[in-house]
Amino acid sequence: MEQNKTLLNLENVWKIYKMGEVEVPALKGITVTIKKGDFIAIVGASGSGKSTMMNLIGCLDIPSKGRILLKDRDISQLNESDLASFRGKTIGFIFQQYNLIPTMSAFENVMLPLEFQEIDDKIASKRSMDILRFVGLEDKIDYLPTQLSGGQQQRVSIARCLATDPEIILADEPTGALDSVTGKNIIEMLYKFWEDEGKTIIMVTHDQNLAKYAHTIIELKDGEIIKTQNNQVN
C-alpha cells in the first residue's frame, strides 16, 4: 500500500457565507494536507465550521478563497458535470441524517451511485449485495428506509458509500443520531473497512471516544484549526 501519497490539499481555504448584508466567515484560512490511508477526525464545537469543511472536501461546495486540490486537481476549475462524476467516483458520503432516498428500498439506495456511474447492472447488483452483506443487512434488502431502525439506515448509507469503492470516505457525524452502542458498532465497521481496505476516512464527530479511533484529530474553533493531534493507533 503506498502510504504518504497526498490525496487532498486545502491551501488557505476560506468560506464566507453571505447572509444578506452580513458576511459570516465559517472557515478562516484552513490549510491541511490529507494523505492516502489517513483516518482523520474533525472535532470542535457546534458552529465551528466542521460541516463547511467537509462540504468543501467533498466537492459539494467551492471555497470563497484559497485552493482545494483533490488528486492534484483544482476543484474550482471543474465544471458541474465533471465535478459530479469525479465526486461520484472518488468520494463517498455518510451523513448524520443517513440521507437515504425514502421511496427506494435498501438495495435500490445502494445501487443508486453505481447507476449514476453507469456500471453494468449485473456487476452493480452483485456489488450491492456483497456490501449489504458486509454491513449485515442481507435480509433487509427490500425494506424501505422507514421500515428500518436508525442504526440499520446508517448501515444502508454506509453500504451506499462503500458501493462505489471510493478513495475518500467523508462521514459528517455518522453516529450523531444513534445511541452510543449502535454508534460504536458503526464506527467499528468503518474502522474495519479502513484497516482492511486502506481507505482514507475523514469523520466529523462530537464524541471524544469515537475520535480516538482516528489517528489524526483536528480541532476546529470559529473556523480555524486550533489543534492537530496525532494518535498512537491502538
Ligand X SMILES: Nc1ncnc2c1ncn2[C@@H]1O[C@H](COP(=O)(O)OP(=O)(O)O)[C@@H](O)[C@H]1O
- The answer to the question of residue 17 lying near ligand X (CB under 6 A) is yes
Q: Out of 9, 99, 125, 182, name the contact with another protein by CB under 8 A.
A: 99
Rank residues 170 and 211 by Cβ distance to another protein and give the closer one: 170
Partner whose binding site includes residue 107, from ligand X, Mg ion, another protein, none (CB under 5 to 8 Å by kind):
none
Partner whose binding site includes residue 17, from Mg ion, ligand X, another protein, none (CB under 5 to 8 Å by kind):
ligand X
Q: Out of 34, 38, 43, 50, name the contact with ligand X by CB under 6 A.
A: 50
The amino acid that residue 82 corresponds to is D
Q: Out of 7, 13, 32, 49, name the contact with ligand X by CB under 6 A.
A: 49
CA distances, 204 to each of 63, 178, 225 (Å)? 19, 14, 14
Q: How far is the CB of 18 from another protein (least distance, A)?
A: 13
**Local structure of 40: helix, strand or coil:** strand
List the grid coordinates of 63: 471555497
- The answer to the question of residue 26 lying near ligand X (CB under 6 A) is yes
What track of x and - describes contact with another protein for positions 70 through 89 (by CB under 8 A)?
Answer: ----------xx--xx-xxx
Rank residues 204 and 217 by Cβ distance to another protein and give the closer one: 204
- The answer to the question of residue 20 lying near ligand X (CB under 6 A) is no
Of 175, 144, 141, nearest to 159 by C-alpha is 141
Exposure class string for 144-183: b at 16+ Cβ within 10 A, else e: ebeebebbbbbbbbbbbbbbbebbbbbbbbbbbbbeeebb
- Cα angle for residues 52, 53, 57 (degrees, 5° grid): 120
List the grid coordinates of 118: 453507469
Residues lying near ligand X in the complex (CB under 6 A) are found at 17, 19, 24, 26, 44, 46-52
